[in-house]
Structure 1
Amino acid sequence: MMHPPLAVDEVDRFAAHRGDDAWLEDAWQRAQIVVCDPEREHIDADEDGLRYYDAATAPDGERVYLGGEHPPVFAVFADLPDGLPGRWIKPTWERRDLAIAVEAIGIGHWHATYRFHPTTGEPLRPRMAGWELAGANGRPVFPRTDPAVIVLIDDGADRVLLAQHQRYGGQPKPAVAQNTIGAAAQSTRSGRYACIAGFVEPGESAEAAVHREVAEEVGIKLDRLDYVSSQPWPYPRSLMLAYRATADAAQPLALQAEEIADARWFTADEVRQMWVETADSTPSAVRISVARFLIENWLAEVA
């Protein structure tokens, strides 16, 4: 796989149209329209892809111009109690549907969570086709994206280090040195081991964030670090920056007790069993993740 599943650029956003009310009104009449429910984090779709509406059939609701000219594409925010959960979008959808879904989910979440101006406290109202929020006073508010890093660490041979977060299962363990190798992999989400990841902090480079997160969560140093790719992750508003790294597996692991339940070095067969051979039971959110992308590419290298 050359790029992560959600790293798609299929719809030109045509930002110059956002301030042209006459163009937007005309575009709405000939638009493809997707419906999102940001409060429930749902989108109107099924197993095969997005469900599109036209101006005559779209429900009432706040509109956001997503891009495109032939046809224009809009999102409408409306009540969707039976919609598809946003994390269930499928990697098998057409790339255009994936691109539109990720954009709509991300901008919808921003609208749902930014209700008041951060400095004046005034209610915010959309403008610029939904890409700015403004109050009576103060500067306009723009969509926010939080950079996060994720890294797959190998031993320079045929094993990778994966960790199990506390929220996915396991009892808290003291932050003492350990170096457990080759334990059996679990195949459910609650027991899944995954790549080390975390948010970039203020004043920090992405590379520095990788080194810090690895040191904090598993207590080792990296020998090599290479950037791989990025992809949006609109749950709620991250941009995932993916890396590969190599570390000396002889280093003892010191787990961050409040974050990490366990961490181990896994062989390719163990990783394949946990991440690939469980496709029928693997949640869609895992299959569209950049972690899955990193792992599948590593498995292809060591095969």
Structure 2
Amino acid sequence: MTTMRPSLDRAADLRTEPGIIERLRGEPSTRTIAVRQGRVRIVDGGNDRVSLLTVDPSDIVEATWALLGRDADGAALLLAALPPEADSLDTAPDETWLGLRDLGGRLASHETELLVEALALAGWLRDAPFCPSCGGGTEIRQAGWSRRCLLCGKEHFPRTDPAVIVAVESPDGERLLLGANANWGGRMYSCFAGFAEAGESLESTVHRELAEEAGVRLSSLRYISSQPWPFPRSLMLGFRAVAVDEDEVRADGEEIIDVRWFTRAEIATALEGDGPVGLPGPASIARALIVTWLEDHE
């Protein structure tokens, strides 16, 4: 979770230049991020820190290419979205290919921004080859940032679906409400989240999701920060809220199988990994919201 300005220049001015990908692939300064099945190559930097490994474009035999932007020195950054069966770069050990959840908190902030962009764009290039309007095949345009239907001519762009995630505290501010999703088998508790529906404001989404999942009404609500989450194409918008009545909470029994109020001491213990329940990993905005709540009350 961050409020800082983006460090990556996405170079939108270059996207419509004819032959831009081919030109940049031939420039010695160009850096390429290879993505395969939602994973990227990394270099071990020691002390649990890693860096993204950029590869030589000439080493890649088969890929879908896109322009990610420019780095701080003005060098081009390209995406090479590899097919699952790609044999290029296969000499690299499997452990050097990691996903976003594996890399949480281990990359510098500017590299995390680049990683999320690369994963999101690679996922769209992989999953959206056909026109959603007529089913026709598409051609990639704007250096990987749009697709034009070869039949009806409509142009399509990468989608971003808004979702809310909310840290709810008790009226006295002494406890935090977390829920256990059915998919986690009761082993982990987190903030409450859900997608905005058609025609719905973010504020309405927050109130609806908390009523549906935890049976709780909210007396106040404020926006905190956001996090792009490319699984597959979400933008998580983080909020803090205060419950009207902490005694009225209940799990919906389907998506959320349990809801609990946690004290600050219980949260601190769980964050250290010593408690009976787990909390979200360091890559998630959910953990950032929990940590922020704890720090605000210390």
State the TM-score, normalized to the length of structure 1.
0.84
Q: Indicate the structure whose relative CO is greater, using CA pairs within 8 Å and at least 6 residues apart.
A: 1
Q: Give the aligned partner of residue 98 of structure 1.
A: 112
* Distance in structure 2 (CA, Å) of the matches to 1:11 and 1:257: 43
Q: Unpaired segments of 5 or more residues in structure 1? A: 171-190
Match of 1:26 among 23, 28, 33: 23
**Is residue 121 from structure 1 mapped to residue 135 from structure 2 by the alignment?**
yes
**Is residue 110 from structure 1 mapped to residue 96 from structure 2 by the alignment?**
no
Q: Deviations over 1:107-160 (max 9, x none)?
A: 011111112111111122211100011221231110000100000011132111
The structure that is strand-richer by fraction is 2
* Distance in structure 2 (CA, Å) of the matches to 1:99 and 1:8: 11
Q: Give the aligned partner of residue 213 of structure 2.
A: 217
Label 1:247 to 1:284 Cα distance change in 2 as closer, same or farther (>3 A).
closer
Label 1:89 to 1:285 Cα distance change in 2 as closer, same or farther (>3 A).
farther
Match of 2:79 among 69, 75, 80: 75
CA RMSD of aligned residues (A): 2.3
Match of 1:162 among 175, 178, 184: 178
Q: Unpaired segments of 5 or more residues in structure 2? A: 45-49
Match of 2:159 among 144, 157, 169: 144
Q: CA deviation at 1:283?
A: 10
Q: Percent identity?
A: 33
Contact 2:38/2:119 (<8 A) preserved: yes
Contact 1:89/1:285 (<8 A) preserved: no
- SS of the counterpart of 1:223? strand
Task: Summarize the alignment of residues 286-297 of structure 1 with structure 2, pairs less than 5 Å apart.
Answer: 286-297=281-292
- SS of the counterpart of 1:20? coil
* Greater shift in the superposed pair: 161-170 or 204-213: 161-170
Q: Give the aligned partner of residue 222 of structure 2.
A: 226
- SS of the counterpart of 2:293? helix
Contact 1:147/1:200 (<8 A) preserved: yes
**2:35 partner letter:** C
Contact 1:148/1:239 (<8 A) preserved: yes
Label 1:126 to 1:64 Cα distance change in 2 as closer, same or farther (>3 A).
same
Q: CA deviation at 1:45?
A: 1.9
Q: Deviations over 1:272-300 (max 9, x none)?
A: 222x2029xx9997211111111111111
Contact 2:104/2:281 (<8 A) preserved: no
Q: Give the aligned partner of residue 47 of structure 2.
A: none
**1:36 partner letter:** V
* Distance in structure 1 (CA, Å) of the matches to 2:134 and 2:180: 42
Q: CA deviation at 1:28?
A: 2.3
Q: Deviations over 1:219-255 (max 9, x none)?
A: 1100110011111011111001000011134432232
- SS of the counterpart of 1:19? coil
Match of 1:65 among 52, 67, 92: 67
* Greater shift in the superposed pair: 76-85 or 192-201: 76-85
Q: Give the aligned partner of residue 299 of structure 1.
A: 294
* Distance in structure 2 (CA, Å) of the matches to 1:244 and 1:294: 8
- SS of the counterpart of 1:36? strand
**Is residue 131 from structure 1 mapped to residue 128 from structure 2 by the alignment?**
no
Contact 2:190/2:279 (<8 A) preserved: no
Count of aligned residue pairs for this structure pair: 275
Contact 1:67/1:74 (<8 A) preserved: yes
